[in-house]
Amino acid sequence: MVLKNMKLALVFMFLLFGAMNVFAADNDAATARQIVEKFQADLIAVMKDGKALGYAGRYEKLKDPVSNSHELNKIARIVVGKEGEKLSEEQQQKLVDAFSKLSIASYAHNFKDYSGESFVFDSEEETTRGGVVVHSHFVIPDDKPVKFDYMLKEKGNSWRIINIIANGVSDLALKRSEYTTILQREGFDALIAKINEKIDNYSKQ
């Protein structure tokens, strides 16, 4: 009888442990909306301490939030288009590194202080290619709100941002037009120099 009860207890513990693992796995599988809202919350938090942190502090604070929410490798490949096929592996990695630094620097520069701003979720929709678009707007006191559309693709058990459209203007399209033109006319080294120049300018403003 005691042995039978022990077996039942072990079975119960196994089932409970298994259920807990499933629950934990489900919690790890963040939705597209959760990825966007977590990133937005991190931005607001940095903005609130923006002046005290300074540019360098904001950059450090935003490294992980940007890397964990954006598919920087994919975005870097997209913005150079077919021109990227001509690059060596070393050049491709150098581009990804420079582009990642630029992305973080851009946020650190543009979201530098706080005066009551907030992000508001509007809606989300699935795309025909299996992606998700999260619609929201950025509320700015005494000014017009900025509409943000975040385009995300699934990566593993989560989602990553691959493009942001602000008031109808695609960041990806702008960068692709600029970067491919520089690659075609001036070459790879000129593109990296241009990206580094932008990073340097952000750090000084």
Instruction: Please state the rounded mean pLDDT for residues 189-194.
Output: 96
Whether residues 83 and 172 share a domain: the answer is: yes
pLDDT band at 28 (very low <50, low <70, confident <90, very high): low
Give the burial string for 70-104 (b: 16+ CB within 10 Å, else e).
bbbebbbbbbbeebbeebeeebbebbbebbbbbbb
- How many CB atoms sit inside 10 A of residue 60's CB? 14
| 14 plus 24 within the same structural domain | yes
Clarify whether residues 19 and 46 are in a common domain: no
CATH code for position 153: 3.10.450.710
User: How far apart (Å, rounded) are the C-alpha atoms in residues 17 and 100?
Assistant: 40
Same domain, yes or no: 17 and 59: no
The pLDDT-based confidence of 63 (bands split at 50, 70, 90) is: very high
**How far apart (Å, rounded) are the C-alpha atoms in residues 147 and 155?**
25
pLDDT of 29 reads 74
**Are 114 and 189 part of one and the same domain?**
yes
Which pLDDT does position 169 carry in this prediction? 96
pLDDT of 18 over the 60 cut? no
Whether residues 7 and 104 share a domain: the answer is no
Q: Both 50 and 12 in a single domain?
A: no
Whether residue 114 sits in one domain with residue 59: yes
Q: What is the pLDDT of residue 156?
A: 85
Predicted local confidence at residue 45, as pLDDT: 98
Q: How large is the average pLDDT for residues 118-146?
A: 96
What is the rounded average pLDDT of the residues 41-58?
Answer: 97
- Give pLDDT tens digits for 77-114: 999 988 888 999 999 999 999 999 999 999 999 999 99
Residues 104, 86: Cα–Cα separation, whole Å: 26
Q: Residue 14's CB: how many other CB atoms inside 10 A?
A: 10
Do 17 and 73 share a domain, yes or no?
no
Q: Which domain holds residue 9?
A: 1-30
